[in-house]
Structure 1
């Protein structure tokens, strides 16, 4: 395995797509922070603010499986480009609505939901393209590049969003995000070669239901993929909700506004990039199960620091620590899934991963947000920190083969796949 974190950039296609992804991710974070801050200022509710972030990620639960079907039947490059243009169209409508003075949370959330659904439809195609863009030993570094672009957006987006809102207003600020999707679509169109699923691949035919079931069975029969999904679900239920609650946490507990919100989000982004570089280097030296076990403890500690931050400086530091640990966990788990997913059904397997992440994030966001509205956000994040350790402890106690699966297990024969979902998740 190559331990250089930027080695995939030696490929022209990767450079092209990654550069455009940085622009697109900056636009996404501009929108998330600006609209989240508008809703937080107008409602003062953790639930209402969380729904804005939820609308950004929750569509994965429905749209990603559809995208997975498309990714395993059609040219993945074209599917991704069409989805990007659909996102650009919906985001343009959002900009126009804001320009008309509409600030109703339900309207803004609905438009974000529609745009995110378009994005979630194209995401499995992009993820399924990645193993074909680089050699196998560069795959983890390739996954890390996605984290770098997303978190570059997290660093630049909130700061740029704050400047743009003050300079040109929220409507034109969201218009920048619409333009960023066009930039990404243009980059995809410049990748000339097709990315078609393997001809004659098992599961390529049949009804929609049959193909979805085939993808699910493939995921269940592949221990590395299944354990990777279980880890991501646990992570999204307990830790990731803090991201969507940054605007209300800053406002309610520290008396801050868009500026402090941007500072915390940017610190998280810096930490995520550093964490991504570090985990890519460490993965060449340590077994994946060794790293995952320590990442769980690091995540719990970082979330505890964030929850108990006594002042703004500690809050920003906690955000940076959370960013580093969160990015490392996402990269590790995602790379396990992409490593072990069979090429013919990779789109569907990845789409199930993304759907599971979206649904679990939504549940976690509502759960943590409800605790926060009933008590306070300090306690809510503390609960998440404890539940992460409890959940991982339950997994390791129940599972006999989790280390083998995470480090690289063979696919089980179909007749040996257990019927009980929990027993499969635990490798029995």
Structure 2
């Protein structure tokens, strides 16, 4: 098996074991979704309560995924993952026991589903963030593909299995299967020996970590582009997922079995895409691959909304599965390799927020259009817009094809002696002397330095030129506390940051003169 093979990450024992355990868990999750919705009907739940089953799953993720990402960066990610999986096991196990004893009520069902949503929110960012710890950097694209296949095939198999389990032994059987699947994930995590984190200053406060994650996202144009491309794709791509049941029942005239066949076709297309995408990425690059895959998914969406042929619909779903996994796995892999270890989980939490938020908003919008106008319009319009936006984005919002080195690196000299770690705000000034012929290039280089300062902790940054001495520049930036500045020195610098700063230094006459000033007024 070569390093470029789609299955190359499966050579890594930890990745392979976790992938298999997660596959069973994904199947169990989708089987339980069917069981919970069916049970709510058996309990006499209203249409609103049936709909709230899905809301109880997603709402905790919306509310908690960002602070959960911060926890994944300031605590041991393996322990955060185990905590999330244990919450989901507890929810599924309680549902199994209570339902078997006929004491589950609609409110109890919703409460336990929400508990599992909390566990999912805790797990999602850390699961994404550990992928570079499981496979080498060059295998991250294949790992993202395999994880996408895992989810899509689980989505195809789980509902069918859930229906079979309900028919054989009742809804409690789906909860039992899901409970066992979480045990498998916990066992794999328990045996995994994760390398220790590099935190010379100890763990950050969770609120500080949340703020630093948001600041990093704002100050990283390359990562922000990934987020924008993600939300634009899923906002329009969600039409197919939201309306596929209506298509199966309406124009295609299918029953539950036919709908399962359509979902299975999506999963089969995702598997086929996993074989095809690595080769296309090597030959065409990620921007061309995403554009082609987006247009293919758009075509599949339009065909799915227009055709009354079951054969053509199945072929369209095959194409949709390949396009969906090609776009999202490429975006996900790009996000992972752009992020340094110190902020990976909290930044990826924003990726998950964009992914789920785009799907939720899109589903509401296209569902409303289907009700107001027509099912066909609700499929063709987003398909056309997706294709147009894909062509626009490849020109105006291209993803970087460069391999950025985000490994830890010393960006500064030895950290200065200073006050107590909580003192602040802190103003750092650097005096740069630059020859007149290098001034334009220096100002341009310093814009990249400014983004580096903000990514690693600065809340404000500026560059000023002395009116009396045009060769003298003053760089200023502000940090909330002295400890934040120490983290810039000791924990947050990367090889990219070092290269950016060195480029500015090469244009200056000498190293800058640095001063550190502590807020002298009353406590802020």
| C-alpha contact (below 8 Å) 1:7/1:141 kept by paired residues | yes
Structure with bigger RCO (C-alpha 8 Å, 6+ apart)? 1
- CA radius of gyration, larger in: 2
How much does 1:199 deviate? 1.6
Per-residue deviation at 1:361? Answer: 1.5
The residue number in structure 2 matching 1:145 is: 146
Label 1:173 to 1:284 Cα distance change in 2 as closer, same or farther (>3 A).
same
Cα distance in 2 for partners of 1:245, 1:112 equals 24
C-alpha spacing 1:367/1:323, structure 2 compared with 1 (3 Å): same
CA distance in 1, matches of 2:372, 2:288: 38
Matching residue of 2:30 = 29
Question: Which shifted more, 347-356 or 305-314?
Answer: 305-314
- The match for 2:232 is 234
Counterpart CA distance in 2 for 1:304 and 1:123 is 31
**Does residue 414 of structure 1 match 2:461?**
no
Name the CA shift for 1:247/1:172 in 2 (closer, same or farther; >3 Å). Answer: farther
User: 1:101 & 1:309 partners in 2: Cα distance?
Assistant: 46
Contact residue 147 and residue 331 of structure 1 kept, 8 A: yes
| 2:70 alignment partner in structure 1 | 69
Aligned to 2:308: 310
- Which residue number corresponds to residue 444 of structure 2? none
Determine which structure has the larger helix proportion and give its number.
1
Where does residue 498 of structure 2 map in the other structure?
A: none
Residues 363 and 96 (structure 1), Cα distance of their counterparts in 2 relative to 1, 3 Å cut: farther
Residues 162, 259 of structure 1: 8 Å contact kept: no
Q: Which segment drifts farther, 34-43 or 122-131?
A: 34-43
Task: Report the counterpart of residue 329 of structure 1 in structure 2.
Answer: 327
Aligned partner of 2:511 in structure 1 is none
TM-score with structure 2 setting the length: 0.70
Name the structure where strand makes up a greater proportion of residues: 2
3-state SS of the aligned residue for 1:403?
A: coil
Kindly provide the CA deviation profile for residues 293-343 of structure 1, in whole angstroms up to 9, marking residues without a partner as x. 222211211111111131333333322221110011110000010011111
Q: How does 1:6-405 map to 2 (within 5 A)?
A: 6-35=7-36, 53=54, 55-95=56-96, 100=102, 111-191=112-192, 193-200=193-200, 206-393=204-391, 395=393, 399=396, 402-403=397-398, 405=400
Q: Which runs of 5+ in 2 are unaligned?
A: 407-447, 460-524
- The structure-2 alpha-carbon separation of the partners of 1:393 and 1:145, relative to structure 1 and needing over 3 Å to count, comes to closer
User: Displacement, 1:52?
Assistant: 5.0
The residue that corresponds to 1:426 in the other structure is none
> Do the aligned partners of 2:239 and 2:378 also contact (CA within 8 Å) in 1?
no
Q: Give the C-alpha shift of residue 374 in structure 1.
A: 2.6
TM-score, reference length from structure 1: 0.85
Shift of 1:195: 4.8
Aligned 8 A contact 2:95 2:109 in 1 = yes
Q: In 1, are the aligned partners of 2:295 and 2:390 still within 8 Å (CA)?
A: no
- Partner Cα distance (1:216, 1:392) in 2: 26
Contact 2:35 2:172 in 1 (8 A): no
C-alpha change, 1:108 and 1:325, in structure 2 (3 Å) is farther
Counterpart CA distance in 2 for 1:15 and 1:355 is 27
Residue-pair matches, total = 411
Are the equivalent residues in 2 in contact too, given 1:95–1:174 (CA < 8 A)? yes
Contact 1:60 1:359 (C-alpha < 8 Å) held by counterparts = no
Q: Which whole-Å CA distance do the structure 2 matches of 1:96 and 1:250 have between them?
A: 35
